[in-house]
Amino acid sequence: MKIFHNPDHRAHSGRHEMYRGRLVACHEVPARLDHVMNELQHRPMGELLAPPPAPRARLERVHSARYLDFLAHAWNEWVAQDPANAEMDVLPSVWPARGFRSDVPPDNFSARVGLFSFDAGTPLTAGTWQAAQTGAACALAAADAVLAGDRSAFALTRPPGHHAGPDFLGGYCFLNSGALAAQALRDGGAQRVAVLDVDYHHGNGTQTVFYDRADVLTVSIHGDPRTEYPFYLGHADETGEGNGLGTNLNLPLPRGTGFDTWLAALDTAIARVHAFRADALVVPLGLDSFEGDPISGFTLRSADYPRVGERLAAMGLPTVFTFEGGYAVAEVGINTVNVLEGFQHTRA
């Protein structure tokens, strides 16, 4: 499979995220992707390519113009407020909860940061916009490869994407790679596209992008939001709305869930994708279901991941993978390539 990697990913390197009332070191670090690249040197899975730039019009298929403008200018505005800000990351501290207006972007910079975000764990840095744009380009290039006839392609990029919505960042995510890939597949001629999100955390951004649409099925297997991030979305009773009623499936599982139960959920997810008669598949591939993940609660082992790839390959659909979470940094390369290897050696 072609692997589109992000040569600009290191430009996004947060200093800290808010956690239990203090700023702590970021979990979402450049070394994550370096470990995957390194593992791919040992176990090549395909051609490693840098993507062509992403036209703004393709980003606007998923994200609002005012959100993209905010991301493009946020760092300059932050530093313009005070040159000393260049030594700090942007994090929000005020948000419009229910009853507040979100249709009038405030002039005040901090207030605008809050308008376009949902947590204080997603630092925006000098290079975030560049890294995120090239990451989106990876997702689009992967979708284009599959549209051109490739069986599969991998958008190997960070920051991750699946928590980012039409006009908000959060959960370490800025531009939604999986949603961009799914939309690109639709725009390129796929009639029905399924997104099967296997990251430990609910893919709230992707769900929100497609919630009222019948042409994209969104399925997510994740830690139960009653106890797990992102908390405010991802319950089993969220099934879609309007035209999209019946085209969202959430499979929340309790903390501590092991591979057998997780795999049963994957089979449920796969059955739904088949019932939907999808003609292309996007897999937001988070490796934070791993037992060693420092911020997550499932207990999958490295040896389980090839079986995940096998199950996905057996679906027989043109498939785009996007790299999402996975914070056991030393193992994330092995676990990622294990999924790809299981996929590659299996035919539908």
Residues with active-site annotation? 163
Cα distance between residue 145 and residue 318, in whole Å: 10
Cα distance between residue 119 and residue 172, in whole Å: 9
User: Minimal CA–CA distance to 51: which of 191, 218, 249, 184?
Assistant: 184
Closest contact distance (angstroms) between CB of 200 and Zn ion is: 5
Choose the contact partner of 174 out of ligand Q9C, Zn ion, none; CB within 5 to 8 A by kind.
Answer: none
286 binds ligand Q9C (CB under 6 A): yes
Among 58, 63, 158, 201, binds ligand Q9C (CB under 6 A): 201
199 binds ligand Q9C (CB under 6 A): yes
Paired residues of 248 in beta bridges: 218
Among 8, 144, 197, 288, binds ligand Q9C (CB under 6 A): 288
- Where b means 16+ CB within 10 Å and e means fewer, 271-282 reads ebbeebebebbb
Among 92, 123, 160, 252, binds ligand Q9C (CB under 6 A): 160
Contacts of residue 113, defined as CB under 8 A and 6 or more positions apart, other chains included, come to: 74, 90, 91, 92, 124
Choose the contact partner of 9 out of Zn ion, ligand Q9C, none; CB within 5 to 8 A by kind.
Answer: none
Give contact residues for Zn ion (rule: CB under 5 A).
199-201, 286, 288, 325
Cα distance between residue 103 and residue 101, in whole Å: 6
Among 92, 252, 325, 342, binds ligand Q9C (CB under 6 A): 325
Pick the piece of the chain touching ligand Q9C (CB under 6 A) from 4-12, 76-84, 166-174, 248-256: 166-174
Closest contact distance (angstroms) between CB of 169 and ligand Q9C is: 11
Residue nearer to ligand Q9C on the CB measure, 288 or 304: 288
Among 129, 229, 262, 321, binds ligand Q9C (CB under 6 A): 229
Closest contact distance (angstroms) between CB of 218 and ligand Q9C is: 16
- Report the residue number whose CB is nearest to Zn ion: 325
19 binds ligand Q9C (CB under 6 A): yes
Choose the contact partner of 160 out of ligand Q9C, Zn ion, none; CB within 5 to 8 A by kind.
Answer: ligand Q9C
Residue nearer to Zn ion on the CB measure, 39 or 293: 293
295 binds ligand Q9C (CB under 6 A): yes
Q: Per residue, what are the HEC states of the chain?
A: CEEEECCCHHHCCCCCEEECCEEECCCCCHHHHHHHHHHHHHCCCCCEECCCCCCHHHHCCCCCHHHHHHHHHHHHHHHHHCHHHHHCCECCCCCCCCCCCCCCCCCCHHHHHHHCECCCCCCECCCHHHHHHHHHHHHHHHHHHHHCCCCEEEEECCCCCCCCECCEEECCECCCHHHHHHHHHHHCCCCCEEEEECCCCCCHHHHHHHCCCCCEEEEEEEECCCCCCCCCCCCCCCCCCHHHCCCEEEEEECCCCCHHHHHHHHHHHHHHHHHHCCCEEEEEECCCCECCCCCCCCCECHHHHHHHHHHHHCCCCCEEEEECCCCCHHHHHHHHHHHHHHHHCCCC
Closest contact distance (angstroms) between CB of 223 and Zn ion is: 9
Closest contact distance (angstroms) between CB of 157 and ligand Q9C is: 12
172 binds ligand Q9C (CB under 6 A): yes
Residue nearer to ligand Q9C on the CB measure, 203 or 318: 203
Closest contact distance (angstroms) between CB of 334 and Zn ion is: 18
Residue nearer to Zn ion on the CB measure, 199 or 238: 199
Site string for ligand Q9C, 115-134 (x = CB under 6 A): ------x-------------
Choose the contact partner of 39 out of Zn ion, ligand Q9C, none; CB within 5 to 8 A by kind.
Answer: none
Give the footprint of ligand Q9C on this chain (CB under 6 A).
19, 121, 160, 162-163, 171-173, 199, 201, 229, 286, 288, 295, 324-325
